Amino acid sequence: MVEKTIIVQNRAGIHARPAALIAQTANKFDSDIRIINAALKLAVNAKSIMGVITLAAGYNITLTVTAEGADESQAVEAIIHLFEIKFDED
């Protein structure tokens, strides 16, 4: 299992568009990918747009991305990259 923590840096947080980008990216991988909001004690399937939206992840919220499977490292890096580029919103 691969696990990385990231802080939401885009001002609008994780709304519909970033959630869709996360799900589209996650669905390119075979691994089981989860995003965890520890403050809410909530873990969701990153391949589900609605699941990602339920994280209620606003600006400056800390999330953990985990993946388990054959392409787990690449999967986590791809999801983290979306956060790092602020979903091309800023």
**Which position among 15, 71, 74, 80 bears the catalytic label?**
15
- Which CA distances in Å does 85 have to 14, 31, 39, 68? 13, 23, 24, 24
Residue 57 backbone phi and psi in degrees, to 5? -90, 100
**15 given a catalytic annotation:** yes
**Residues noted as catalytic:** 15
